[in-house]
């Protein structure tokens, strides 16, 4: 029993030490880490390649119920606004490829830019410790809003924030106009 408690204590201390090593999360006004990983085609994805657009970077996992509710909402937002003004990047948080692919297969109708971050390099660079964890990046490339968690109650405020960041008339305007 003593060995079990000692091992448990050591594991807890190591996980806390790892958490302490993570950088602070980017806050409103900060420039976030540029690299977001590789998309499903193997191409590097960066925040800077979307400069001039609003970029939503969200971290999720298959076991996270609120994440599984947030992804369809973000998919609807991406479809409503289009890619002329908005890019939603959904980064999987430290899961095996099997779990990542399972969520993608189950949600074929959600058209987001999905990234697999099995080792957690991207999530660690963003200081992510809780899920879902969303960073809304304005057209200037700086973090505008950070959200941890997801609920139906936060949607109204989130929509108001998004409308303030998007150019007038961006919602419902055909792509390319």
User: What is the pLDDT confidence band of residue 8, given thresholds at 50, 70 and 90?
Assistant: very low
Q: Reply yes or no: is the peptide bond before residue 103 cis, omega within 30 of 0.
A: no
Amino acid 40: pLDDT: 87
Amino acid 173: pLDDT: 55
Report the alpha-carbon distance of residue 144 to residue 133 in Å, rounded.
Answer: 14
Task: Give the domain 24-165 fold.
Answer: Glutaredoxin (3.40.30)
Report the alpha-carbon distance of residue 45 to residue 5 in Å, rounded.
Answer: 43
Task: Say whether pLDDT at 5 is over 50.
Answer: no
Amino acid 168: pLDDT: 86
pLDDT digits (tens, 9 = 90+) for 148-165: 999 989 988 998 998 899
User: What is the pLDDT confidence band of residue 145, given thresholds at 50, 70 and 90?
Assistant: very high
Amino acid 177: pLDDT: 45
pLDDT digits (tens, 9 = 90+) for 125-143: 999 999 999 999 999 999 9
174 or 108: which leads in pLDDT: 108
Structural contact between residues 89 and 48, judged by C-beta atoms closer than 8 angstroms: no
Task: Say whether pLDDT at 19 is over 80.
Answer: no
Domain ranges of the chain: 24-165
Amino acid 20: pLDDT: 55
Per DSSP, 124 falls in state H
Task: Say whether pLDDT at 13 is over 80.
Answer: no
pLDDT digits (tens, 9 = 90+) for 56-97: 999 999 999 999 999 999 999 999 999 999 999 999 999 999
Q: Which residues of 142-165 are buried (b: 16+ CB within 10 A; e: fewer)?
A: ebbbbbeebeeeeeeebeebbeeb
């Amino acid at each position: 029993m003593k060995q079990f408690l000692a091992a448990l204590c050591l594991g807890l201390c190591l996980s806390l030490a790892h958490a302490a090593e993570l950088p602070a999360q980017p806050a409103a006004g900060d420039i976030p880490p540029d690299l977001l990983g590789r998309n499903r085609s193997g191409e590097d994805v960066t925040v800077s390649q979307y400069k001039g657009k609003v970029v939503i970077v969200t971290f999720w996992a298959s076991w996270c119920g609120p994440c599984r509710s947030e992804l369809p909402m973000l998919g609807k937002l991406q479809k409503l606004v289009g890619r002329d003004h908005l890019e939603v990047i959904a980064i999987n948080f430290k899961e095996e490829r099997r779990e990542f692919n399972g969520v993608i297969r189950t949600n074929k109708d959600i058209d987001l830019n999905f990234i697999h971050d099995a080792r957690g390099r991207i999530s660690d660079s963003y200081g992510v410790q809780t899920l879902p964890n969303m960073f809304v990046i304005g057209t200037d490339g700086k973090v505008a809003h950070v959200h941890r968690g997801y609920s139906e109650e936060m949607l109204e405020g989130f929509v108001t924030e998004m409308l303030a960041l998007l150019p007038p008339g961006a919602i419902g305007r055909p792509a390319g106009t």
